[in-house]
Chains A and B, each alone.
Chain A
Amino acid sequence: MSRTIAIEVLRYGPETDAAPRWQRYDVPFTDEMSVLEGLQYIKDHLDGSLTFRWSCRMAICGSCGALVNGTPKLSCETFLRDYFPGPLRIEALSHFPIVRDLAIDQGDFLKKLEAVKPYLINPDVPAGNTFVQTPEEMDRYYQYSQCINCLLCYAACPQYGLNEKFTGPAALALLHRYNADSRDAGKAQRMEVVNAEDGVWGCTLVGYCSEVCPKGVDPARAVNQNKIESTKDYFLRFLKK
């Protein structure tokens, strides 16, 4: 039942390598084994120094993103059988600094997430009970609340590759998630981020972010809607002058 696949991993250790290098492992696998399980097999049995993040192994924690044959994927829901006989090439998500092997530095995204004020801003909270929000009102933002922060969209975004100041797909989708929430009153505060040079106007509509999103969030659509909002915002401010 078990077959063997060649897995090549782009390795980099700050203490041991001047530059990233490819390393090949031959991994026995069964049909149900994910790419993540292939990496775990290597770590357990072949090379304990191979470094990668993982946690839930069910595509909800967002830890295990990597480039699999050049495409951003969650390694837990990508299967070795689909790449037999290999070689299957795994490397860190592009556009982020590598800390070690497949572990990237997520710090830039975390700063951007914080900058979009991803929380309800509303001083008028109903006392002792929940807001009333109809399913239709929920539908306006629900899709964008599904972002697991896996960063595949940043690895897919050519604009982020060119300009790391670009707020980027996931953070803009989450910004829209709160702006579109009927319980929120903080839109004006977030429009500064939307309107900024590195806000929605940094996007050139490639749309690859939505293609790689494992949760169907469609950040490109969120960005587009905010281009409309930003334009309206501009003219409204113009009229007020």
Chain B
Amino acid sequence: MQVIQADVVVVGGGGAGLRAAIAAADVDPKLSIALVSKVVPMRSHTVAAEGGAAGVTRADDSLEHHFHDTVAGGDWLCDQDVVDYFVAHCHEELVQLEHWGCPWSRKSDGNVNVRFFGGMTVQRTWFAADRSGFHILHTLFQTSLRYESIRRFDEYFCAELIVDEGRVRGVLAICIATGEFVFIEAKSVVLATGGAGRVFRQNTNAGTVTGDGMGLAYRAGVPLRDMEFVQWHPTCLPGTGILMTEACRGEGAILVNKDGYRYLQDYGLGPLDPWPRAKAMELGPRDRLSQAFWHEQQKGRTIATAQGPAVHLDLRHLGAKKIRERLPLIAEAAKTFAGVDAVKEPIPVCPAVHYTMGGILTNVRCETPLPGLYAAGECASVGIHGANRLGSNSLVEIVVFGKVAGEQAARFSASGKGPDVTGKARAASERCLAMLNVSAGDRLATIRDAMRDAMESGVGIYRTGETMKTACDALAGLAARWRHGVRLDDRSRAFNTEWLGAIELGFMLDVAQAMAHSALNRRESRGAHMRLDGFGKRDDDGYLKHTLATHAGGHSPKISYQPVTITRSKPEARVYGGAGKQAVLT
């Protein structure tokens, strides 16, 4: 086992991790920053984000609007002090990306254009056509190449956090190419590993989105917060789950059922006219739109496709020119993966798991309760998304809080070195090696697919106590089988993705259990957590509080609660649709 010293380790090379590494390097060029990623950074899932990033820009917008949209969008489960910090720092971070080269789409006068997104009062979403995440990621990655103090560990898989005397001391990683272990000893660690959508079957996420960082922190004793809140994106290709961005609707696309009827008007998002208008019909929030699909399906008004039920996302009236300029990736992906020409035909879409609102518990400084450990981006629960995230808030979250995490971790790294913990790292490496030598037990795919089925059927868009309990029991059984051992075909060390897959599966099972138990214990409906078994209403007296799931070894997670920080927006009815003035699309 190789031992390497660093001041700060950043785990994850997506938008949040790269922004954290750059921020840490900017604090003090003498600090050594280790950037550990299981893929070369530009492969990270940030690359697949399409629609854009929110930041108050127009004269008719305000921080107050962005604050209220976010808090109401989150069904009042957001920490309002954190939302205030967030909305105040979005614009400057989007400008920073522009200064680093991000090719944001422009108006004819050369200034950055903004588009509509669901649940937002005013156009405030910066976009780079519909490849916003791709451009943000490549801009950050390429900019990071300027920094000599950032040492990259590309294709190193982080297997464990090394914790000693109540603080984090580094990470044990596996060099994927060789299978060799490396202990990166550090004074602080930033987790920026993204979400966990892969615990579900039909999802928009890349194969890498397996909740690694959440699992790492959780096993180290850090609670996972609000894990029951999983976002279904309403417009994805049936079967693959490939994302058809919300920007389609931001640019004017409509959703119709099998009768050609704009069904959203039946679910508190109408009336139809005047259209388009902010926060109504197709510009409603994602939770409401995915829930509306579920009801349409119950009523038999969806369209049967070979890959499952769908509704139609219709872009035709936008015209070939606008589609080509604003939504080129969508046109390409619809053609390649669904065989549909979006200029001439509607695209069949359905909801798919997209985002984990919850994550590793942090405060506004991205500090977890474990000294030296920070988290940012989708893996974290910093408190801005509540029970439902608004589209385009996460792509700016990664830079706003990536920067905070990097700066905080850099400052913390001034604290002194602790006692030698190489022995702990070596013990961790032996645990990993033991998994390589299992010759009995289930195949990886068997446990993984059973986990996904349990989550889809038990912890879906609508839930009951019974379905969630069934899922909890199934997951406990699967976790026991995983602990017993996953039988591998591949015993070699070099680039053994089956071995790494077995480790990832362990993280996914932990995260899935945190989600299912957090959901089972929340006896109300709020945002993306919808129950059918007599808890169909929001219950502010009982549940205006964050769920904390704490790891309990081989047992079910321990569930506890934490107050929500409410500063000036008292919970009220969450209303979309209704009367409003017609918006002019830009």
Contact = CB atoms under 8 A, between A and B. Distances in A.
B45 A134 contact: no
B489 A47 contact: yes
A53 B498 CA distance: 12
Given A58-B337, A120-B101, A135 B494 contact: no
Nearest to A98: B495
A110 B489 contact: no
B53 to A, nearest CB: 13
Contact of A119 (B45, B100, B110, B443): B100
A15 B493 contact: yes
Among A55, A57, A106, A184, max chain B CB count under 10 A is at A55
Contacts of A51: 490, 495-497
A149 B493 contact: no
Nearest to B486: A48
A32 B237 CA distance: 12
A106 B112 CA distance: 35
Given A55-B43, A130-B95, A60 B495 contact: no
A201 interface: no
A130 B498 contact: no
Contact of B110 (A44, A57, A58, A137): A137
Interface in A128-155: 128-135, 137-138, 141-142, 145-146, 148-149
A192 interface: no
Interface in A9-40: 13-16, 32
B448 to A, nearest CB: 8
A99 to B, nearest CB: 5
Contacts of A188: none
The size bracket of the interface on A is 35 or more
A53 B177 CA distance: 12
Contact of A56 (B206, B445, B497): B206
B494 A14 contact: yes
A100 B206 contact: no
Interface in A33-85: 43-45, 47-49, 51-63, 77
B339 to A, nearest CB: 8
Contacts of B98: 130-131
A62 B154 CA distance: 15
Nearest to B491: A49
A140 to B, nearest CB: 11
Nearest to A115: B145
Contact of A13 (B142, B240, B333, B492): B492
B367 to A, nearest CB: 29
Contacts, number: 152
B492 A58 contact: no
B43 A100 contact: no
A149 B337 CA distance: 21
B329 interface: yes
B450 to A, nearest CB: 13
A166 B116 CA distance: 45
A6 interface: no
Contacts of B307: 32
Contacts of A133: 106, 110
B95 A129 contact: yes
B570 interface: no
B231 interface: no
A125 B496 CA distance: 46
B43 A181 contact: no
B95 A135 contact: no
A101 B492 CA distance: 13
A183 interface: yes
Interface in B94-124: 95, 98-101, 103-104, 106, 108-112
A101 B494 CA distance: 11
B106 A61 contact: no
Contacts of A119: 100-101, 142-143, 145-146
Most buried by B among A32, A52, A61, A100: A61
A57 B352 CA distance: 15
B39 A55 contact: yes
A212 interface: no
A174 B329 CA distance: 20
B135 interface: yes
B328 to A, nearest CB: 9
A132 B145 contact: no
A229 interface: no
A118 interface: yes
B39 A49 contact: no
B40 interface: yes
B282 to A, nearest CB: 22
Contacts of A53: 39, 43
A103 interface: yes
A160 interface: no
Nearest to A48: B489
Nearest to A77: B336
A191 interface: no
B497 A106 contact: no
A197 interface: no
A55 B206 contact: yes
Contacts of B109: 132, 134
A128 B142 CA distance: 22
Interface string B122-140: 0000000001001100100
A48 B239 contact: no
Interface string B439-452: 00001110000000
Contacts of B99: 120, 125, 130-131
Contacts of B95: 128-130
A129 B99 CA distance: 9
Interface string B220-243: 000000000000000000011011
Contacts of A58: 48, 240, 242-243, 333, 337
A134 B105 CA distance: 10
Nearest to B142: A118
A96 interface: no
B126 to A, nearest CB: 10
Contact of B206 (A61, A110, A142, A146): A61
B207 interface: yes
B503 interface: no
Interface string B441-467: 001110000000000000000000000
A114 B100 CA distance: 15
Interface-central residue, B143, B243, B307, B489, by most chain A CB under 10 Å: B489
Given A113-B145, A145-B135, A148-B47, 5 more contacts: A61-B42, A105-B177, A131-B98, A132-B110, A132-B111
26 contacts: A13-B494, A15-B493, A32-B239, A32-B337, A43-B497, A43-B498, A44-B445, A53-B39, A54-B207, A55-B39, A55-B208, A56-B206, A57-B207, A58-B243, A58-B333, A62-B42, A77-B337, A100-B495, A103-B495, A125-B99, A130-B98, A130-B112, A132-B111, A134-B106, A135-B108, A178-B101
Q: In the A-B complex, list the 7 residue pairs whose CB atoms are closest, starting with the nearest.
A: A48-B489, A44-B445, A49-B490, A132-B110, A100-B495, A118-B142, A48-B498
Interface of A: 13-16, 32, 43-45, 47-49, 51-63, 77, 99-101, 103, 105-106, 110, 113-114, 118-120, 125, 128-135, 137-138, 141-142, 145-146, 148-149, 174, 178, 181, 183-184
